[in-house]
Amino acid sequence: MDVRDDATQAPTPSSIATDKASAKVYRRLRTITVIATFGGLLFGYDTGVISGALPFMALSPEEGGLGLTPLTEGIVASSLVLGAAFGALFGGRLCDRYGRKRTILGLAVLFFVGALGTALAPELVVMVLFRVLLGLAVGGASATVPVFIAELAPADRRGRLVTQNELMIVTGQLLAYTSNAVIAETVGEGGVWRWMLAIATVPAVLLWFGMLFVPESPRWLASRGRFEDAERTLGRIRDAQVVDEEFAEIKRRVTADAGERKAGWRDLGTPWVRRLVIFGFGLASLTQLTGVNSIMYFAPTILLDTGLGTQAALTATIANGVVAVLAVATGMWLLGRFGRRPMLLTGQVGVTVSLVLIAFCFLVLPESTARSYLVLASMLTFLLFMQGCIATVFWLMLSEIFPLRLRGFAMGTAVFGTWMANFLVTLVFPPLIDAIGGATFLIFAAINAATFVFYVRTVPETRGRSMEAIESHFRRQYAD
Residue 156: CATH number of its domain: 1.20.1250.20
114-151 pLDDT, tens digit each? 999 999 998 999 999 999 999 999 889 888 888 888 88
Query: Does residue 76 lie within any of the structural domains?
Result: yes
Query: Does residue 407 lie within any of the structural domains?
Result: yes
Asked if the model's pLDDT at residue 222 lies above 50, the reply is yes
Task: Note the residue count of the chain.
Answer: 480
pLDDT, averaged across the chain: 82
What gap in Å lies between CA 99 and CA 92, rounded to an integer?
Answer: 10
What gap in Å lies between CA 390 and CA 464, rounded to an integer?
Answer: 19
What gap in Å lies between CA 193 and CA 300, rounded to an integer?
Answer: 14
Name the domain count of the chain: 1
Query: Does residue 136 lie within any of the structural domains?
Result: yes
| Cα separations in angstroms, 283 against 318, 458, 460 | 28, 10, 12
Q: Tell me which of 48 and 9 has the higher pLDDT.
A: 48
Query: Does residue 241 lie within any of the structural domains?
Result: yes
Q: Tell me which of 380 and 473 has the higher pLDDT.
A: 380
What gap in Å lies between CA 83 and CA 107, rounded to an integer?
Answer: 13
313-365 pLDDT, tens digit each? 666 667 777 888 898 889 888 887 888 889 999 999 999 999 999 889 888 88
Asked if the model's pLDDT at residue 296 lies above 80, the reply is no
Query: Does residue 322 lie within any of the structural domains?
Result: yes
Question: How large a percentage of the chain has pLDDT more than 70?
Answer: 88
SS (H, E, C) the chain: CCCCCHHHCCCCHHHHHHHHHHHHHHHHHHHHHHHHCHHHHHHHHHHHCHHHHHHHHCCCHHHCCCCCCHHHHHHHHHHHHHHHHHHHHHHHHHHHHHCHHHHHHHHHHHHHHHHHHHHHCCCHHHHHHHHHHHHHHHHHHHHHHHHHHHHHCCHHHHHHHHHHHHHHHHHHHHHHHHHHHHHHHHCCCCCHHHHHHHCCHHHHHHHHHHHCCCCCCHHHHHHCCCHHHHHHHHHHHCCHHHHHHHHHHHHHHHHHHCCCCCCCHHHHHCHHHHHHHHHHHHHHHHHHCCCHHHHHHHHHHHHHHCCCCHHHHHHHHHHHHHHHHHHHHHHHHHHCCCCHHHHHHHHHHHHHHHHHHHHHHHHCCCCCHHHHHHHHHHHHHHHHHHHHHHHHHHHHHHHHHCCHHHHHHHHHHHHHHHHHHHHHHHHHHHHHHHHHCCHHHHHHHHHHHHHHHHHHHHCCCCCCCCHHHHHHHHHHHCCC
Q: For residue 76, which of 195, 169, 193, 200 has the smallest C-alpha distance?
A: 193
| Cα separations in angstroms, 230 against 234, 236, 245, 346, 478 | 6, 10, 13, 39, 30
Asked if the model's pLDDT at residue 257 lies above 70, the reply is no
Query: Does residue 20 lie within any of the structural domains?
Result: no
Query: Does residue 398 lie within any of the structural domains?
Result: yes
Backbone angles phi, psi at 413, to 5 degrees: -65, -45
pLDDT at residue number 305 = 67
What gap in Å lies between CA 376 and CA 239, rounded to an integer?
Answer: 47
pLDDT at residue number 451 = 93
225 φψ region: left (φ > 0), alpha (ψ -120 to 50), beta (else): left
pLDDT at residue number 189 = 66
pLDDT interval class at 57 (50, 70, 90): confident
Burial (CB count within 10 angstroms: exposed 0-12, middle 13-18, buried 19+), residue 464 = exposed
**What global pTM score does this model have?**
0.73
Domain holding 62, by residue range, is 25-477
Query: Does residue 369 lie within any of the structural domains?
Result: yes
